[in-house]
Amino acid sequence: MPIVKNVSRAVSQLLQSSGCGCGVSVVPVRCIGISPRQVASDASFHSVSFSESNHPRVLITGGLGQLGVGLAKLLRKRFGKNNVILSDIRKPTDNIFYSGPFIYSDILDYKNLREIVVNNRITWLFHYSALLSAVGEANVPLARAVNITGLHNVLDIAAEHNLRLFVPSTIGAFGPTSPRDPTPDLCIQRPRTIYGVSKVHAELMGEYYHYRYGLDFRCLRYPGIISADSQPGGGTTDYAVQIFHDAIKTGKFQCNLKPDTRLPMMYIDDCLKATLEVMEAPAEALSMRTYNISAMSFAPEELVQEVQKHVPELQVTYSVDAVRQAIADSWPMNFDDSNARRDWGWKHDYDLPELVTTMFSFLGSDSRIARAN
């Protein structure tokens, strides 16, 4: 590629003309995979718009997490079963494995990931591989490797192969000095978790690759996501999922956040809908690379009251986890998502009562629910 050759030649000349008088050891490095053509500062995306293309060929990394399986189901219904490949480093259950294409993919293995993109003619990549907030704090080196090094691999490959790339961000990308009620798209971001730091890094790197190389990068800051399809995975907002499982199984729930800790939340169907909508949005409609999205905001005590309408005998206690509480206290209480609603027509479907009713409709075949009703 001309750009890579020019860069290599310039580096060689620089090393040969070094004026320090010391020997310079040249080691092999992996060049950033960029589009071979020059990208003007006012260039539009080099991915064709959805309306002008055939169905995209999709790869989802970290696909066995909370969102990947649901996203694959939605995209397969829209684009065809064989056009959406789910990937992870873990072994899938039988129902996931036989529901559509699945492949082993380690985002820290650059060569393997690149081969998957090339061999399967991938055009859209959803990058969900990440360690969440509380888990990341318990293993910072691993979080740094997965959340940052893995991202770099994905960015390089996406730029090299002209992919449309989606990387989710989070309420955790904000910190205690950010405005919290509401939190706008553009403001001070100084998170105090490795998860939050890695997500700010992802937002900025994605924007840089867009403006520097023309990468079609799109990003949404998710609130806490509530789903009946997966178990809690170590996130600070996972209490809002755990309460439903505990209400059904034991009738007792211990919350690890203070009862008045207000955070933005969203039902998974709204989250997946927003993700697809922003990926299909025309390039000219997007005024920014990263958007807040929101649906509702509530505190544990408000969720408990709504859950007890379905399970009146639910017993709730509070045993505050200092790490999770400190994280939650640094996060937004409400998201301002007016830009998403204006630019590409974002609109949520689920509020708190409908969320709780829907969760119990999926999980509520248990006899405890039947007796409560």
Which residues participate in catalysis according to the annotation? 195
Distance, CA of 45 to chain centre: 21
DSSP result, 148-172: IIHHHHHHHHHHHTT-EEE--EEGG
Are 120 and 57 spatial neighbours (Cβ–Cβ below 8 Å)?
yes
d(CA 152, CA 157): 9
Q: What helix, strand, coil percent values describe the chain, rounded to 5?
A: 45, 15, 40
- The DSSP code for 89 is S
∠ Cα 179 152 192 (to 5°): 30
Q: How many CB atoms lie within 10 A of CB 56?
A: 22
Q: Scanning the structure block, which residue is given the tokens 């994905």?
A: 154
Are 165 and 222 spatial neighbours (Cβ–Cβ below 8 Å)?
no
For 321, how many CA atoms within 13 A lie in the half-sphere containing its CB?
15
